[in-house]
Amino acid sequence: MHEIYLDNNATTKIDEEVLNAMLPYLKSEFGNPSSLYSMGTKVKEEIDKSRKSVADLIGAKQEEIIFTSCASESNVTAIMNAIRSNEGKKHIITTKVEHASIMETMHYLEGKGYEITYLSVDENGNIDLSELENSIREDTVLIAVMMANNEIGNIYPASEIGKIAKEHDILFHVDAVQAVGKIKIDVEKIICDTLSISAHKIHGPKGIGVLYVRDGIPFIPLIFGHQEDNRRGGTENTAYIVGLGVAARRLLEHMDEDNKRIERLRDKLEDEIISSLDGVLIYGDKKNRMPNTSSISFLGVDANELMFMLEGFNIYVSTGSACNSREAEPSHVLKAMNADLDKYSPIRVSLSEYTTEDEIDEFVKKVINIVTMLRHKNK
C-alpha cells in the first residue's frame, strides 16, 4: 500500500539529487578538508561551494555560515555565545512556544541564576510586541524567538523584533528551522545576529545544521577547534554538508512555485474537511502561517487515536512536535494558547513538495470516515 507521509515538519524525505551528490563523499572523495594535498583541497572546495549556497539562501555572507551537527546545536551555541560574551547581563527574553532546544536551555540557565521572560501568546498563538518591549531591561542580553512555529505554523514578526533588539543594543537569535524553504529569509531585513537552520527539514540529510553569525558579533565557540575558521571544532561532515548545499540550491530554484502549490493543497484539505464535518477547529493564525502546515482538531475525537487509525492506512501525521511526541504532557504550544484540550486535540498535518493532490484526496476521505466512525462509537 502506498505510504502517504504528511509529517514534514518533523523531517523530510531526502531528495534523490541531494543523495546522489553526497555519495562520492561517502566513498571515493573521502579526503580530510584540512589536509593540504589535493584530496583534501578538492573536498574543501565543495564545502565552500555549499557554504555559499546556504549563504545565498538567507541573504548572508559566505563567511557568516558555520556548519554544525544540527539546529539544536546551533540554537544552544547561539544562546551560550550571547551570555558568555556579555557576562554582566543576566536577563533573556523568549516565548512560551519555542522549540525544546531553546526551552531546555532556558530552564538550565534559570538554574544558573539567569532570569528568563517567556512572552505569552494569544488564543491564535501570536505574540504581542508591546509585551516584548515592556519586558526589556538594562541587563537584557538576548532575545530568542522562532521565525515560524513547528506545531501551528504561525509566522512571527522577526523583522519587527530585530528592529526592537537593534534599538536597545540587544542580541537577537532566530530559530528559522521551520521557516527555511517555506518563507523567504533575508538576514539583513531581519537584522538578526544569529540564526539556525536544519538540513533535514528541507529534503537534506539528518545530522547537519547551520548557525549564521553576523559579521562583527563577538563569538566564543561551543566546541573548540580549528575547523570552521576556529568557530566549531571537529572534522567537517563533508558528505552531509554537500547534501545541504544541494538542498539549498534546489530551494533557490523553485521554492516560490512549490509553496504556492503546497498552500493550495493545504487549503483544499482544510476546506473539504470543514465542509464535510461539524466541530472542526484549526489552531493557529490562519492568515499568517506557513503554507504547508495545518493543526486541525475534531470535537470529541482523541488526536492520538485518530493518528494511529490513520497509520493503519499507511497515512502518517503527528500530534505535535516530534521532539516531544513521546511525552504524556500536552503540547506546551497549545497550553500557552489556552486551548480547550478536553474537547479538542489536534493532529498536525504538514505537506512537502512531494505531496500530491491524490494523497490529499485520500487523506481527506479517510479522516472523514474515521472521525465519523469514532464519534458514532463514542456516543
Is beta strand 171-175 parallel, antiparallel or unpaired with respect to 194-198? parallel
Q: Which are the catalytic amino acids?
A: 323
SS3 316: strand
CA-to-CA separations, 373 to 42, 123, 301, 370, 378, in angstroms, rounded: 60, 30, 10, 5, 9
- Alpha helices per DSSP H over 314-356: 332-336
**At 101, which amino acid appears?**
S
Q: pLDDT value at position 64?
A: 98
Identify which of 294, 335, 323, 289 has the alpha carbon closest to the alpha carbon of residue 95.
335
Parse the chain into domains and list their residue ranges: 4-12+254-377, 16-251
Fold assignment, 16-251: Aspartate Aminotransferase; domain 2 (3.40.640)
Equal fold, 4-12+254-377 vs 16-251: no
pLDDT of residue 33: 82
Q: Which residues of 297-310 are buried (b: 16+ CB within 10 A; e: fewer)?
A: bbeebebeebbebb
Amino acid symbol at 5: Y
Query: CA-to-CA distance for 377 and 379, rounded, in angstroms?
Result: 6
Q: Hey, what amino acid is at 191?
A: I
If you classify domain 4-12+254-377 with CATH, what class do you get? alpha beta
- State the pairing for strand pair 347-350/293-298: antiparallel
Each residue's pLDDT expressed in tens, for the chain with a length of 379 residues: 689 999 999 999 999 999 999 999 999 888 888 877 887 888 899 999 999 999 999 999 999 999 999 999 999 999 999 999 999 999 999 999 999 999 999 999 999 999 999 999 999 999 999 999 999 999 999 999 999 999 999 999 999 999 999 999 999 999 999 999 999 999 999 999 999 999 999 999 999 999 999 999 999 999 999 999 999 999 999 999 999 999 999 999 999 999 999 999 999 999 999 999 999 999 999 999 999 999 999 999 999 999 999 999 999 999 865 555 455 567 899 999 998 888 888 999 999 999 999 999 999 999 999 999 999 887 7
